[in-house]
Amino acid sequence: MLLSAIVNSLYIPWDFLLALLFLGVIVPWRGARRMQRLLAKPDLSSSDRLKLYISTIVLQWLLVGVIAALSAYRSVSPWELGVAVSQPSRVFWVALVLTAILCLNQIFGIRKILSLPHERRGGLFAISEKIMPRTGKETFWYALLAATAGISEEFIYRGFVFLCFVRMIVNYGSPNIAAAILSSAWFAVAHVYQGRRGLVTTFIVGLIFAFTRIWSASIVPVVIAHFGMDLTIGICMWRFSGGVAQDAH
């Protein structure tokens, strides 16, 4: 009875609340544990990276499937999830400008960090160096992962999680602003394995994406920008650092 009263006061169904808790607790815990095991190795083999890419792709699409099914069962509209497009021209230009800005920022950021001594590059860069693709085969699967992350993470965090917080606080002040902040916090916590700097960076990126979703009334621009940003990191990291991509036999 108490749980039912609490859920009803939040204006979201109990299964939505469970999904929020799963995304805010289990997903970060699992990601941190898995990354901890990988980083304990002196270096990752091509097989390690491929397993990481493929398992993440499968997990993210499973999450999308479950959340889409929950949303359909609860009759959530495409507009509430941000998957509809009401202003195609605005969506196009926002996607183009945002993607260009974020991709250029990644390129300059990687070049700047690589100009520093190795010991000053930070833990987040060390993680990226280990998990970024180094061969043609790895790059192919990483590109699929980047596309998956762009679609799934934006659908989950800027779509579903944003919707949940809007509904929870719809009668308290400015729900869109609060939902942008809270959904960005959920997004950041999911990347806890990246350490303190990664949490801050991911939270800021989440805010940019959340307010873009509000302004454009769609998650489409942030899906494209997210994909472009992740793909840029994967392509530039190993090549800028002097690595030579060779297909593993």
Contact 178, 169 (CB under 8 A): yes
Burial of 13 (0-12, 13-18, 19+ CB in 10 A): middle
Residue recorded with tokens 């808790």: 21
| Residue extents of the structural domains in the chain | 12-240
Instruction: Flag whether pLDDT at 6 surpasses 70.
Output: no
pLDDT single digits (tens) 138-172 = 999 999 999 999 999 999 999 999 999 999 987 66
Residues 245, 239 contacting (CB under 8 angstroms): yes
Q: What is the pTM of this model?
A: 0.90
CA 107 to chain centre: 19
Residues 6+ apart with CB under 8 A from 183: 157, 158, 161, 162, 165, 206, 210
Compute the radius of gyration of the chain from its Cα atoms: 19
pLDDT band at 22 (very low <50, low <70, confident <90, very high): very high
- Least trusted range by pLDDT, from 8-12, 34-38, 134-138: 8-12
Cα dist from 47 to 39, 143, 182, 239, whole Å: 15, 16, 36, 20
| Banded model confidence at residue 118, pLDDT cuts 50, 70, 90 | confident
In whole angstroms, give the CA distance from residue 33 to residue 44: 16
> At residue 242, does pLDDT exceed 90?
no
Quote the mean pLDDT of the chain. Answer: 89
- Cα gap 14→20, rounded to integer Å: 10
Among 15-19, 52-56, 106-110, 215-219, the least confident range: 106-110
Q: What tokens were used for 134?
A: 């180094």
The pLDDT tens digits for 191-212 are: 998 888 889 999 999 999 999 9
126 C-beta neighbours (distance < 10 Å), count: 12
Work out the pLDDT band at 243, boundaries 50, 70, 90: low
Confidence bin at 188 (pLDDT 50/70/90): very high
